Amino acid sequence: MKVTDLKIHQVDASPKGNWIFVEVETDAGIKGIGEASQSGNDRLVIAILEQMAERLRGVDPTQVEVVWEQMARSGNIFSGGSGRVGATAVSAVDQALWDIAGKALDVPVWRLLGGKRREKVRVYANLNRGTRDRTPQGFADAAMRAVDAGFTSVKSTPFDEVNWRNSDHSGVESDADKGVERLAKTRERIGDGVELLVDCHCRFDRALAFKVAEKVKPLNLFWFEEPVPRNHVDILCEIASLSGQTVAGGEAFFGREGFWEYVTRGAVHVIMPDVKHAGGITECRRIAALAEMKQIPVAPHSPAGPVSTMAGVHLAASIPNFLTLEYAFGEVEWREQLVRPAEKLEDEYIAVPDRPGLGIELDEEMLEAHRLK
């Protein structure tokens, strides 16, 4: 079997951003799909994918890890040559190759990854992309919609107005307090029985991170995600060991090298590789194995479309240290219909499919209806 072509599909998903899917075709008539959304530069990731298409033609797609190494070396990707955008392109193709390999052997991807450790994968509701009203009540209402839909774990992003680099420190603290107020209102609305996660989006410096961590202690957070810039590892280590919060992070790293210090130095309690950016299924497995050595759980980051979500489901099903998977709740009403069979959540779980490959296909009619013009 040989690769014959790579097609790129852009979907007009929401004001928050577009979704980009790849479709790798073979001379055996088998197609594989992957997702390259949220790279930070749609034009560049498409240009890289178009270049990669030339190199992939004639390659055996079932030799997934061999092809991965060739792609990674050719773009100098995981040593920083093309950064997150290049890693996103590699990640998308990697997902598609696993899909092809599974279909060629008539087995689901999780079987190729070593087996199914769980029948269903727990997901939490990322509320960020579906929260338009940024008042405390708006945040609380968004969380309650997710709870009403069956989720018992929700993630809020209440600090996006905070900028620790601002010279007006009183203004920065005031903005942080507004975020705390949003979280407090959310906790009041959803009650104590629902896990409340917070993503700080790297908005704090050391002092403010500790202040906020202390102020939100009564809210019993499930985790405190990325309080300071990702490269401030020394500070993260302090926060992880001294703040009393469960620290999570790593969503933007690509390759094992990016996670090395986090894992070996104890900078986080939970790591969050993204199957779209970290190197696809292939590299995320390796990252999970690295974390397992230090008994660190893995919560894959994935607030995007249904293809990367399903790639995350297969990854989550196969690794021993899986914790929970991110799900973009409330952003796109028709997302479930973009794939066949339609994406289905039962309360807060996605069943691990037994169909060959990833177990889904892009729905051509829905794809055409929402294609970016």
83: confidence class by pLDDT, cuts 50, 70, 90: confident
**Cis ω for the linkage preceding 273 (within 30 of 0):** no
* pLDDT band, residue 15 (cuts 50/70/90): confident
CATH number at residue 128: 3.20.20.120
Residues 176 and 276 in one domain: yes
Residue 334 reports pLDDT greater than 90: yes
**One domain, residues 266 and 332:** yes
Pair 131, 182: CB distance under 8 Å: no
Residue 265, pLDDT above cutoff 90: yes
Same domain? For 101 and 185 the reply is no
pLDDT class of 73 with cuts at 50, 70, 90: confident
Q: Which of the four pLDDT bands, split at 50, 70 and 90, describes residue 82?
A: low
Torsion of Cα atoms, 132 then 203 then 262 then 152, to 10°: -30
The amino acid occupying position 25 is E
The DSSP output letter for 353 is P
Q: What is the pLDDT of residues 93-107, one digit of tens each?
A: 999 999 999 999 999
CA distance 71 to 329: 33
Q: Kindly report the pTM of this predicted structure.
A: 0.95
Which of the 8 DSSP states describes residue 39? -
Last residue of a domain, one of 72, 106, 140: 106
Last-in-domain residue among 106, 139, 163:
106
What value does the mean pLDDT take over residues 349-364? Answer: 98
Same domain, 81 and 146: no
In the chain, the number of structural domains is 2
Beta bridge partners of 124: 326
- 125 and 98 both lie in a single domain: no
The pLDDT value given to residue 72: 85
Q: Which of 84, 106, 128 is the last residue of a domain?
A: 106
Are 128 and 102 members of one domain?
A: no
Question: What average pLDDT does range 326-331 have in this prediction?
Answer: 95
Task: Return the CATH number at 19.
Answer: 3.30.390.10
Instruction: Say what the pLDDT of residue 373 is.
Output: 83
Check whether residue 261 and residue 344 sit in a common domain.
yes
Owning domain of residue 148: 112-369
Q: Are residues 89 and 182 in the same domain?
A: no
Q: Is the pLDDT of residue 319 over 90?
A: yes
Instruction: State pLDDT tens for residues 149-185.
Output: 999 999 999 999 998 777 666 679 999 999 999 999 9
Statement: residue 29 has pLDDT above 90 = yes
Q: Which residue has the higher pLDDT, 40 or 74?
A: 40
Let me know whether 212 and 332 are in one domain: yes
Same domain, 121 and 93: no
Tell me what the pLDDT averaged over the chain comes to: 95
3-state secondary structure of 321: coil
* pLDDT greater than 90 at residue 131: no
Same-domain pairing of 230 and 305 = yes
Checking 166-173 for CB contacts under 8 A at 24+ apart, the result is 172/208, 173/208, 173/211
